[in-house]
């Protein structure tokens, strides 16, 4: 892709927008970087990009007609329905995600992972499997650093493992992963996508350009995901925690086995996988399939599975105080993710939940709270919604907190020897924090302060 002399509008000056701006400027494009945040808020970014000759527009939506760019690169947080992007579509101006841009400049094959929950863990595990085998791997996309910062350094023998969100999939045109993984589809981001049908269709974008030689790995146990095999041009391989499959990966006589036409090949026992919970067993199955199909041997796959520690903010053990374990699951940003967290434990739970609702309902979450939770501490914007949902289920052990400091102290006071204090908010973090990482880090800091 030759961008020399082309005028490119970058919308959104967060990590991916800044990285794309620098990359395109280095390649001879005329770059205009924009953000609706004020000039005062963008002072540091201004200093960073102006020395490269990158023009900037702060504090307003860009006038696309006046700028008349050759194409637009849009950050994941910006919906395609805002007026400048609607105008771009009407004028046949291509709108690309940073993921699409990175794909156009790389020679390395891509393993792309999407789904409502489990993306980060699965992406990290796939990356670790190949790194442990000696492969040069870049892990990025929706986690880590933007892929555009690395792609030109990679060869066809290297590998990209990308976590891909629905927001990123809205802006793909040619993106075609060698292996695409869809883990699950449950209600999330409906405040942006509107309906489950629309959300599911956007997730399906991950394989729209795949061909017969490419691989599509799907969750057989998730009805919405299973149906995506219909009409797929790529080779579909299922994974299932509950069913024996003719082809795919499943549990057979107490072992995880993979069968892709040569009979079942044992990998390991589910209990040997270091990351726990049924949801992590499914994540591991998807990762194993990608690794095996691209040539890794069972013994090296097992070695990584036994030692992989998981990822920060997903069922992360913070510490143990007076026989009480504190678990950070700040990555639980929707009800289904937090349901999976609740199901991972048999110990009595003191749950901290609440945050910004992304259009989900808490009906099923409330039912699981009643079954699994001893005490519930609510904090954040969605606390009243969650409170009403659990009260309707007959759960009354509810405590409200004004902030995280109060929530952590309250949870600790409610817990006794053998209990687990679990942060799994079932909500996004944006009412109180910049992202779930900040929320999780604050939780960990507050927990460690309890030591006195």
pLDDT of residue 190: 66
The average pLDDT across 352-380 equals: 97
Lowest-pLDDT range of 135-144, 191-200, 360-369: 191-200
The model's pLDDT over 56-95, given as tens digits with 9 standing for 90+, comes to 999 999 999 999 999 999 998 898 889 999 999 999 999 9
- CATH fold for domain 7-93: Rossmann fold (3.40.50)
| Residue 346 clears pLDDT 90, i.e. is over it | yes
256-264 CB contacts, 8 Å cutoff, 24+ apart: 256/284, 256/285, 256/288, 258/288, 258/289, 258/292, 260/292, 260/293
In this structure, which topology does domain 316-449 adopt according to CATH?
3.90.190
Confidence of residue 323 (pLDDT cuts 50, 70, 90): very high
Structural domain spans, the chain: 7-93, 100-307, 316-449
| pLDDT number for residue 283 | 97
pLDDT tens-digit readout, 382-422: 999 999 999 999 999 999 999 999 999 999 999 999 999 99
Split at pLDDT 50, 70, 90, the class of 262 is confident
pLDDT at site 261: 85
Chain mean pLDDT for the chain = 95
Average pLDDT of the segment spanning 220-230 = 96
Inform me whether the pLDDT recorded for 144 exceeds 80.
Answer: no
> Percentage of the chain with pLDDT > 90?
88
Q: What CATH superfamily classification does 100-307 receive?
A: Mur-like, catalytic domain (3.40.1190.10)
Residue 1, pLDDT > 90, answer no
CA distances from 279 to 121, 202, 210, 261, 335 (A): 10, 22, 27, 26, 14
Q: Which residue do the tokens 């259009």 mark?
A: 359
């Amino acid at each position: 892709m030759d961008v020399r002399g082309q005028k490119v509008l970058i919308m959104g000056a967060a990590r991916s927008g800044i990285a794309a701006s620098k990359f395109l400027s280095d390649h001879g494009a005329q770059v205009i970087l924009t953000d609706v945040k004020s000039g005062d808020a963008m002072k540091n970014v201004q200093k960073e990009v102006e020395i490269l000759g990158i023009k900037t527009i702060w504090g307003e939506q860009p006038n696309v007609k006046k700028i008349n760019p050759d194409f637009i690169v849009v950050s994941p947080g910006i919906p395609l329905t805002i007026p400048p992007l609607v105008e771009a579509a009407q004028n046949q101006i291509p709108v690309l995600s940073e993921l699409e841009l990175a794909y156009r400049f790389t020679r390395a094959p891509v393993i792309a992972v999407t789904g409502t929950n489990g993306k980060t863990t699965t992406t990290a595990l796939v990356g670790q499997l190949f790194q442990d085998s000696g492969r040069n791997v870049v892990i990025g996309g929706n986690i880590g650093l933007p892929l555009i910062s690395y792609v030109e350094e990679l060869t066809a023998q290297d590998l990209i493992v990308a976590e891909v969100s629905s927001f990123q999939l809205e802006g793909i045109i040619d993106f075609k992963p060698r292996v695409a993984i869809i883990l699950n589809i449950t209600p999330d981001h409906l405040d942006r996508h509107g309906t489950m049908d629309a959300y599911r269709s956007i997730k399906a974008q991950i394989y729209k350009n795949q061909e017969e030689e490419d691989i599509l790995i799907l969750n057989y146990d998730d009805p919405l995901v299973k149906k995506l095999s219909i009409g797929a041009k790529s080779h579909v391989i299922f994974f299932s925690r509950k069913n024996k499959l003719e082809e795919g990966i499943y549990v057979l006589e107490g072992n995880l086995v993979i069968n892709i036409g040569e009979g079942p090949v044992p990998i390991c026992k589910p209990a040997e996988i270091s990351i726990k919970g049924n949801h992590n067993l499914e994540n591991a199955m998807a990762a194993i399939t990608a690794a095996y199909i691209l040539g890794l041997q069972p013994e090296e796959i097992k070695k990584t599975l036994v030692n992989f520690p998981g990822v920060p903010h997903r069922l992360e053990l913070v510490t143990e105080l007076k026989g009480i374990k504190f678990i950070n699951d700040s990555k639980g940003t929707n009800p289904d993710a937090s349901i999976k967290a609740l199901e991972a434990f048999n110990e009595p739970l003191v749950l901290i939940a609440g945050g910004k609702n992304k259009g989900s309902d808490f009906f099923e979450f409330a039912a699981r709270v009643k079954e699994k939770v001893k005490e519930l501490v609510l904090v954040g914007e969605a606390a009243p919604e969650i409170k009403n949902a659990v009260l309707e289920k007959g759960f009354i052990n509810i405590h409200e907190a004004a902030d995280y400091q109060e929530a952590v102290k309250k949870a600790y006071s409610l817990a006794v020897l053998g209990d687990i204090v679990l942060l799994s908010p079932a909500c996004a973090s944006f009412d109180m924090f910049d992202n779930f990482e900040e929320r999780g880090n604050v939780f960990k800091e507050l927990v460690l302060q309890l030591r006195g």
